[in-house]
Structures are given as C-alpha cells and as structure tokens.
Structure 1
C-alpha cells in the first residue's frame, strides 16, 4: 500500500467497501456475474460501439448504474455520443496536452484525504484564483475530464462516489466572461449523462452577489436529479459541515485539517503514471467508419 498522498488506490476492494457496494449498488457475486455477462451481450448487439470488455472496465460502468445492464449500455452510448459531439476538444486527449494549465492554473485540486463517507473531494476554484488567460474554459473542462478518467481506476471512488466543491471566492467579470452558455452546457451534460462516476453532492461556497450571473447560465441545463444534489453555502461553512464534517475538510473551508498546501502540480505525476489507461480510453466510443 502506497504512502504517497497523491497516489490513487488501485488495490482490491476491502470487505467494508464490498459491504457498501452491496447495500447501495445491489452488488453481490450473483448480480455481478449476471450483469457482466448481460452487458457483454448488449455490447455485441451494439456493433457500432467499441469499448473494453475486460471485467475491470465493465465493472466501472455497472457500478455507476447500480448493476443494471440496460442502464449501463445506455450510459456507454451516451459516453460515445458525448465524445463524438465534443471531439474537437476530447479526441486523443492526453494529460501532457494540459500539463501547463494543470500544474500552473491553480484551478482544480483534489483533497488528499477522503471524507467521512470515503468519497473523493474535488475542489474547483472559479473565483479570483482562476485566470482564464492561463487556464481557458476549454482547458478547465479538459482537466476535469482527465481527472474523471483517472478517478475511475479507484475502487473506493467507483463505489462511494465523489463530491465537488466549487469555490467562487473573489469571482469577477473576468471569470464570468470566460464562461459561455455552451461551456456551461457541456460541463453539465457531461456530469449528468456521460460521467461514469457517482456525483453525490456539489457544494457552492464563498460565492459573491454576482454569482447570480453564473447561476443564470447554469440553471437551464440542470436536471432535477442533479439539482437535488446542489447546495449553496456562501461563507457559511457551518452549513457545509452539515454535509462534510470539519475533521474531513481543510482549514480553507472551516475544517480541522491543515490548510491546503498542494495543487495540480503535485497531482499531475499521477496522470503520467496512468498513461496507458488514458491511451486506452481514447479508443472508446463509436467505431471509426472505414
């Protein structure tokens, strides 16, 4: 087991994780075997799709769909459609293409510890810490997309899901001008229909009054299910603590953990370590027409 806080845990599921999977995802040995077999059959019935049929990959999709094969093949088609519709920024995407924004942009960060429900915490700085001249809206999405690919490899994240904290401290017109309806729609479409991970909660914090302009961009594209998982806290960290206890949050958000002193620069090497999976992921989606 690694002691590097920036590594992802690709080890086998613990008994505790398997118990959560059974309770929340219907995952039992019998349902697992049946789901894998049925999803492979469904892939054969969708010859225009190309995906790995290895257990490791199919389990990622089936866990995101509570082990319902019909839902899983629907998600695979949605992933393919999203990749096709956004091919200009996603085709052959590799971490090295976004290395400078990832390392220097200071926009996206992953908390090194997990929360009380064993969920990964992703922090996105959309306020003063985001300089669109260093990290464009397209780059920001591409970094988010790369992180989600990497997160799929972590068994605990497959099972327990993830939580996103959007920090809007110091939000100004420079950041708002960088957000277009198209960019916002792309992100929300991805989260809601083409991301094979369980997005459990999205928390908006430290948002100033002009955040209403951002929300007016987002609201038309938010579906009911995601809307119920969105929470707005402003500067009231105690409200955030009703969802994530202080002992699982850094000092930046009223927590008892040390203030964050790491960034994408520390996380980027993990992307490089998983180079082969990024290469494989780029082959997924619709088959190229001869």
Structure 2
C-alpha cells in the first residue's frame, strides 16, 4: 500500500510519477544522473574528514535534490549545515523529540496544514503573534521545534522535490512577542533558512501583521539575502493576495480559504512525528566531525 496520505502522516518512501517527472524537469533527476551524482557525492564526503554524515543513497539524495544533483553544491550545503550546527550546538546537538512533547503538542507555535497545496507542497504555519506565548514556548524552544520539524520533512521525497511553503501568522502581535524576537534569534533563524535548510523553500507568506511588525522587519531586513527576499510576500489582512499563490480550495477559513477552520495542531501531528524520533535522534550528532 502506498504511503501517500497527507493528513497527519509523513509520506516516507512515497513519490508519485508526476513528482518524478517534475524532478527530471526541475532538478535534472534521471536514473543515470542520480546514480552518478550519488557516487560522486559519496566520494567527496569520504574525502572530507571534517564532516560526519551518513553516506547511504537515501540520505545523500536529500542534499542532491536541494542542489539540482550537482555533487559539489550538495557537499557545500552539507558543509554549511555542519558549520551552522557547530555554531548553534547548544540548541541542536543532542536534540531529541521526547523532551519537547508537551510544547510540541500544546505550544500552538508550529503547525502544518493537513493537506498540501495545489502544487503538492507542504504548507507550514508559524504562529508568531498572539497565539504564541513565549512564557510557555521560548524563542529558543520555538527554533528547536522548527528544526525538528524540518528534519522530519526531509523524509518525504515529495517534499524534497516539490519544496515547502511557509505562512508566518502575526495576528495579535504584541510587545510580548516582539521582546522574544531578539536580533540574535532573527539572525539564527535567517542563517538557518538561508544557509542550513536542505529543502526547497519556495515561498514565505507574512499574513495579518499589525503596524508594530514594521519594527521587527526593520531588524530582519538587513540580514536577508536577495534570494530569500524575493520569496517573501506580505499580505496583511488581504487574503485574496495570498490566494494568488495558494488557491483558496487548499486553505482553511483562517486564511480566507474554503476548508474548515483549523482545529488541529501539534497534538494531532505528534504521533506521526514520533514514529521518526530515531531519525531526529540520529541527527543529534551529525554534521561536524568535531564539535
């Protein structure tokens, strides 16, 4: 039975014929190129004693798909990730799922739509406004939850090829959240997205941001590279603007869509993620050979 259910499930091992065709068109992925690229990346990895990664085909393909099957670019991405992990070892080294269970289930900071969008992309929701209580889930813990979520997303071949979309919901943003969104936090988050994210981040949508969001943006904007800046879209309360990117048939009423209002979150997703806790645990020591 194909593991293709989108709702509260990680689609490990599943990739559709349409997605394979897309991979060939957008990522140069053919059986011949794939085989040669894996072989070359494995060779490059073995010649890099400063790195500590698995070298099996399935693992290497995550990075190759992110880099259009150019082995040298994939190795560069792996080095960048290792460097990031070393810089922020206090947050990512030894990261395990179990200690975050309560905050994952009840923190209401990170969620994923239970359906993909019209282009087959996962849509991640990050509540950065009034729905987020920094006293319950700190900014550091929010980052750790996001980091764990991206590790699990790597396991989906569909997401490796089609990429992911992120909606940042700032509804109800107050000084309580602004205080937690420090320059150091923003620098870490943007460094992660721009330098250490081995998935194709296709779009970022900022919605329902109030006036005080301008203060946050003024801090973040100088740190954002052109590639990411071109993928960030600001919509405010204009959901029709969002619908130019994600069709309303695939969005809940929370974002002006036709699907029911979101009544699920980490509690419903936790079981699907917990199945892969060993993968998160394995990543706890990957990256740099020496910390």
What TM bracket, shorter-length normalisation? Answer: over 0.9
Distance in 2 between residues matched to 1:104 and 1:226, nearest whole Å: 30
Residues 1:59 and 1:144: Cα distance change in structure 2 (over 3 Å): same
Distance in 1 between residues matched to 2:73 and 2:52, nearest whole Å: 17
Q: Shift of residue 247 of structure 1?
A: 0.3
Match of 2:290 in 1: 288
Gapped runs of 5+ residues in structure 1?
A: none
What secondary structure is seen at the aligned counterpart in 2 of 1:7? Answer: coil
Match of 1:48 in 2: 50
Gapped runs of 5+ residues in structure 2?
A: none
- CA contact under 8 A between 2:164 and 2:200: conserved in structure 1? yes
Paired residues, number: 289
1:177 pairs, out of 155, 176, 179, with 179
Q: Shift of residue 103 of structure 1?
A: 1.2
The reply to whether residue 95 of structure 1 matches residue 92 of structure 2 is no
Distance in 2 between residues matched to 1:121 and 1:130, nearest whole Å: 19
What secondary structure is seen at the aligned counterpart in 1 of 2:123? Answer: strand
Match of 1:158 in 2: 160
Provide, for residues 171-208 of structure 1, a one-character-per-residue CA deviation record: whole Å limited to 9, x for no partner: 00000001110100000000011010000000000000
- CA contact under 8 A between 2:160 and 2:200: conserved in structure 1? yes
What secondary structure is seen at the aligned counterpart in 2 of 1:165? Answer: strand
Match of 1:15 in 2: 17
Match of 2:122 in 1: 120
- 1:34-73 matched pairs, under 5 angstroms: 34-73=36-75
Distance in 2 between residues matched to 1:279 and 1:204, nearest whole Å: 31
Q: Shift of residue 286 of structure 1?
A: 1.3
Distance in 2 between residues matched to 1:54 and 1:217, nearest whole Å: 41
Q: Shift of residue 279 of structure 1?
A: 2.0
Q: Shift of residue 271 of structure 1?
A: 2.1
What secondary structure is seen at the aligned counterpart in 2 of 1:27? Answer: coil
Q: Shift of residue 72 of structure 1?
A: 0.4
- 1:205-244 matched pairs, under 5 angstroms: 205-244=207-246
1:82 pairs, out of 66, 81, 84, with 84
What secondary structure is seen at the aligned counterpart in 1 of 2:68? Answer: coil
Distance in 1 between residues matched to 2:123 and 2:16, nearest whole Å: 20
Q: TM-score, normalised by structure 1?
A: 0.97
Stretches of 4+ aligned residues off by more than 6 angstroms? none
What secondary structure is seen at the aligned counterpart in 1 of 2:84? Answer: helix
Q: Shift of residue 4 of structure 1?
A: 7.5
Distance in 2 between residues matched to 1:88 and 1:97, nearest whole Å: 15
Worse-superposed segment, 101-110 or 112-121: 101-110
Match of 2:190 in 1: 188
Residues 1:35 and 1:152: Cα distance change in structure 2 (over 3 Å): same
What secondary structure is seen at the aligned counterpart in 2 of 1:212? Answer: helix
The reply to whether residue 270 of structure 1 matches residue 253 of structure 2 is no
1:204 pairs, out of 201, 206, 225, with 206
